[in-house]
Structure 1
Amino acid sequence: MSPATAPAGTDLTPAPFDRAAGHALLAELAGPGAGATLGGLDALAPGFPDWIVTSLFGGTYQRPGLTLRDRQIANLAALTALGGVEPQLADHVRYSRRIGLTAAEITEVIVHLAPYVGLPKALAGLRVATATFAEADRGTADTGTDGNTADTGTDGNTADTGTDGNAADTEADTESDTVAESATEEARA
């Protein structure tokens, strides 16, 4: 069969899909709690977590060309730019910290995005990062009442540090001031 008559796609480079590598990478990024999250999602959408682990963590993440650190910076940027995905952004802030990015570096990635994605999205991303840094300092994964990660409010809104439901809330927040000061000190070190 000549290349002109070969079925479409038979000459493409095979993509990696390695379920075991996906689970290993997810465990490295998310820690021991990853299995519980996947189990809950599988109860809701059977097979979907396996697709996520296999195609994303066992596929896209396994490609050559970028380090895990570079991939996490790209994820932070993409999720901040998207907006409305605060639980996923909080997860990737945690993952980034687990692989060695500092709070100051994560903060700077988000600040750098402001002229490209807009100030409201950058501020919302910083709110998520601040709440996630604070929860790590407290040793908790969720301080809200609704199961949403990075929720420090009382109304069930992710990444809300106030009480009115506004994720980009500007109410006085000494905790975020402390985290910002810590990030600044970390950057100077």
Structure 2
Amino acid sequence: MARSEMYSKGTETRRELMGDAMAEQMASTVYNDPLMEKFADWTREAVFGLLWTRPGLDLKTRALITVITDTATSAWPELRIHLRMARRQGWTEDELGEALLHTAGYIGAPAVREALLVARETFAEINAEA
């Protein structure tokens, strides 16, 4: 894939959101084959390059929106990634828990319960890494 300006911008934004260690870990495990590499290229350009860098919302707000949409769509593996991003953007465990709990009235208790279980595991992993 030709490396566009949006690809470069997306790569930089993705690394800022994930941190060096997580970006490298994902590159060497999840995106280490031709099929997934194409997906990674597309997300760097379209998602991180175009969506995450739009004016109007800061990265912290976008991270919270992404956590909520992962929960609403039951995207549990993605939720793990995006909870880490949200923590890196300054959201506390309590704030993220409260945001997830708030959504129970709108998307349902079962999805929020699962999201909170994922959050509990993810936060424990983050704390163990620190």
The alignment's TM-score, normalised by the length of structure 2, stands at 0.87
* 2:118 alignment partner, one of 128, 145, 149: 128
Whether 1:113 aligns to 2:103 is yes
**Which secondary structure state, in structure 2, belongs to the residue aligned with residue 18 of structure 1?**
helix
> What is the match of residue 73 of structure 2?
82
Structure 1 unmatched ranges of 5 or more = 1-16, 141-189
Q: Distance in 1 between matches of 2:77 and 2:129?
A: 17
Q: Distance in 2 between matches of 1:38 and 1:102?
A: 27
Residue identity opposite 1:117 in structure 2:
I
Shift of 1:129: 0.6
Residue identity opposite 1:24 in structure 2:
E
Shift of 1:20: 1.4
Percent identity, please: 33
Please say if residues 110 and 126 of structure 1, whose CA atoms lie closer than 8 Å, have aligned partners that are also in contact. Answer: yes
Structure 2 unmatched ranges of 5 or more = none
* 1:24-71 deviation digits (Å, cap 9, x = unpaired): 111111112313423542515142211110110011111111111111
> What is the match of residue 16 of structure 2?
28
Matches within 5 A, 1:36-55: 36-39=25-28, 40-45=30-35, 46-55=37-46
The alignment's TM-score, normalised by the length of structure 1, stands at 0.61
Q: Distance in 2 between matches of 1:51 and 1:37?
A: 15
Higher relative contact order (CA 8 A, sep 6+): 2
Residue identity opposite 1:35 in structure 2:
E
Q: Distance in 1 between matches of 2:96 and 2:43?
A: 24
Whether 1:103 aligns to 2:103 is no
> What is the match of residue 54 of structure 2?
63
Please say if residues 67 and 79 of structure 2, whose CA atoms lie closer than 8 Å, have aligned partners that are also in contact. Answer: yes
Which protein shows a greater Rg?
1
